[in-house]
Amino acid sequence: MSHTADVGLKIWGESLEALFANAARALTAVMVDRRRLKGTISRQITVEAPDLEALLVAWLNHLLYLYDTEAFLGRDFIITSLTPERLEARAVGDTYDPTRHLSKTAVKAATYHRLAITQVPDGWQATVILDL
Amino acid sequence: MAQIKLRQVDEYRWEIPREGKMRTRGLIFASKEMLPKIHEDRSLEQVANVATLPGIEGPSMAMPDIHWGYGFPIGGVAAFNLEEGVVSPGGVGYDINCGVRLLRTNLERQAIADRIEELVNALFDNIPTGVGSRRKDLKLTVPTLKEVMRYGAAWAVKQGFGTTDDLAHIEAGGQIPGADPDLVSQFAMDRGKDQLGTLGSGNHFVEVGYVAEIYDEPLARALGLFPGQVTVIIHTGSRGLGHQVCDDFIKVMLKASAKYGIELPDRQLCSAPIRSPEGQQYLAAMAAAANFAFANRQMITHWVRESFEQVLKMGPRDLGLELIYDVAHNIAKIEKHVIDGKEKTVCVHRKGATRAFPPGHPEVPPAYRETGQPVLIPGDMGRYSFVLVGTQRALEETFGSTCHGAGRELSRAAAIKAAKGRRVVQEMAAKGIIVRGAGRDTIDEEISEAYKDVENVVNVTHGAGISKKVAKLKPLGVIKG
Distance, in Å, from the CA atom of A18 to the CA atom of A14, rounded to the nearest integer, reads: 6
Closest CB to A4: pick one of B251, B408, B442. B408
Q: What is the pLDDT of residue A4?
A: 57
Query: How many other C-beta atoms are found inside a 10 Å radius of the C-beta of residue B426?
Result: 10
Cβ neighbors of B32 (< 8 A, separation 6 or more) are B8, B11
Q: What is the pLDDT of residue B235?
A: 96
Q: Which of chain A's residues have a Cβ under 8 Å away from the Cβ of B200?
A: 106
**Min Cα separation A53/chain B (Å):** 12
Q: Residues of chain B with pLDDT > 70: what percent?
A: 99
Q: Which of chain B's residues have a Cβ under 8 Å away from the Cβ of A105?
A: 131, 201-202, 412, 439, 441-442, 445
Assess B201–A contact: CB distance below 8 Å, yes or no.
yes
Q: Is the CB of B131 less than 8 angstroms away from the CB of A113?
A: no
* Torsion angle of C-alpha atoms B98, B35, B471, B164, degrees rounded to 10: -20
Which of B247, B268, B270, B417 is the best substitution to test chain A (most A C-beta atoms within 10 A)? B247
> Is pLDDT at A96 greater than 90 in this prediction?
no
Query: What is the DSSP secondary-structure string of B5-32?
Result: P-EEEETTEEEE---TT-SS-EEEE--G
Question: What mean pLDDT do residues B239-244 have?
Answer: 96
- Picking from B223, B242, B215, the residue whose alpha carbon sits closest to that of residue B102 is B223
Distance, in Å, from the CA atom of B136 to the CA atom of B196, rounded to the nearest integer, reads: 11
Mean of the per-residue pLDDT values for chain B? 94
What burial class does residue B361 get, using C-beta atoms within 10 Å of its C-beta: 0-12 exposed, 13-18 middle, 19+ buried?
A: middle
> Is pLDDT at A1 greater than 60 in this prediction?
no
**Min Cα separation A56/chain B (Å):** 13
> Is pLDDT at B343 greater than 80 in this prediction?
yes
Q: Which of chain A's residues have a Cβ under 8 Å away from the Cβ of B70?
A: 5-6, 111-114, 129, 131
pLDDT digits (tens, 9 = 90+) for B278-313: 999 999 999 999 999 999 999 999 999 999 999 999
pLDDT level of residue A32 (50, 70, 90 thresholds):
confident
Distance, in Å, from the CA atom of B359 to the CA atom of B337, rounded to the nearest integer, reads: 15
Closest chain B CA to residue A9:
B413
Closest chain A CA to residue B450:
A4
Q: Which of chain A's residues have a Cβ under 8 Å away from the Cβ of B445?
A: 105
Residue B90 — left, alpha, or beta (φ > 0 → left; ψ -120 to 50 → alpha)? Answer: alpha
Assess B113–A contact: CB distance below 8 Å, yes or no.
no
Mean of the per-residue pLDDT values for chain A? 91
Which of A33, A36, A66, A108 is the best substitution to test chain B (most B C-beta atoms within 10 A)? A108
Q: What is the pLDDT of residue B118?
A: 96
pTM assigned to the model: 0.95
> Is pLDDT at B421 greater than 90 in this prediction?
no
Give yes or no for a contact between B458 and B469, defined as CB atoms under 8 angstroms apart.
yes
- ipTM confidence score: 0.89
pLDDT level of residue B480 (50, 70, 90 thresholds):
confident
Assess B70–A contact: CB distance below 8 Å, yes or no.
yes
Closest CB to B243: pick one of A4, A105, A108. A108
Question: What mean pLDDT do residues B161-177 have?
Answer: 97
pLDDT digits (tens, 9 = 90+) for B198-230: 998 778 999 999 999 999 999 999 999 999 999
Closest chain B CA to residue A53:
B267
* Torsion angle of C-alpha atoms B305, B310, B314, B320, degrees rounded to 10: -10
Closest chain A CA to residue B194:
A69
B139/B227: higher pLDDT: B227
pLDDT digits (tens, 9 = 90+) for A41-82: 999 999 999 999 999 999 999 999 999 999 899 999 999 999
Q: Is B235 annotated in the active site?
A: no
Residue B424 — left, alpha, or beta (φ > 0 → left; ψ -120 to 50 → alpha)? Answer: alpha
- Give the DSSP H or E segment for B453: none
pLDDT digits (tens, 9 = 90+) for B367-420: 999 999 999 999 988 899 999 999 999 999 999 999 999 887 787 778 888 888
Q: Is the CB of A104 less than 8 angstroms away from the CB of B441?
A: yes
Of A88-92, B26-30, B261-265, B419-423, the range with the lowest mean pLDDT is: B419-423
Supply φ then ψ for residue B402, to 5 degrees.
-145, -170
Q: Which of chain A's residues have a Cβ under 8 Å away from the Cβ of B187?
A: 65
> Is pLDDT at A2 greater than 70 in this prediction?
no
Question: What mean pLDDT do residues B85-98 have?
Answer: 97
Assess B187–A contact: CB distance below 8 Å, yes or no.
yes
Q: What is the pLDDT of residue B413?
A: 79
β-pairing verdict for B342-351 and B385-389: unpaired
Closest CB to B411: pick one of A4, A68, A112. A4
> Is pLDDT at B253 greater than 80 in this prediction?
yes
Q: Residues of chain A with pLDDT > 70: what percent?
A: 95
Residues 10-29 of A with CB under 8 A from B: none
List, in sequence order, the alpha helices (H) in B272-343.
Answer: 277-312, 316-319
> Is pLDDT at A37 greater than 50 in this prediction?
yes
Which of A48, A67, A69, A129 is the best substitution to test chain B (most B C-beta atoms within 10 A)? A69
Q: Which of chain B's residues have a Cβ under 8 Å away from the Cβ of A50?
A: 254-255
Assess A85–B contact: CB distance below 8 Å, yes or no.
no
Distance, in Å, from the CA atom of B272 to the CA atom of B465, rounded to the nearest integer, reads: 33
Give yes or no for a contact between B59 and B27, defined as CB atoms under 8 angstroms apart.
yes
Residues 322-351 of B with CB under 8 A from A: none
Q: Which of B243, B349, B404, B462 is catalytic?
A: B404
Q: What is the pLDDT of residue B473?
A: 98
Cβ contacts from A onto B, under 8 A: 113
> Is pLDDT at B2 greater than 70 in this prediction?
no
pLDDT level of residue B62 (50, 70, 90 thresholds):
very high
Cβ neighbors of B40 (< 8 A, separation 6 or more) are none
Q: Is the CB of A132 less than 8 angstroms away from the CB of B132?
A: no
Of A7-21, B58-72, B408-422, the range with the lowest mean pLDDT is: B408-422
Query: How many other C-beta atoms are found inside a 10 Å radius of the C-beta of residue B260?
Result: 16
- Could you tell me which residues are beta bridge partners of residue B60? B26
Distance, in Å, from the CA atom of B419 to the CA atom of A2, rounded to the nearest integer, reads: 16
Closest chain A CA to residue B46:
A113
- Could you tell me which residues are beta bridge partners of residue B67? B74
Q: What is the pLDDT of residue B347?
A: 98
**Min Cα separation A131/chain B (Å):** 8
Q: What is the pLDDT of residue B433?
A: 93
Q: What is the pLDDT of residue B1?
A: 45
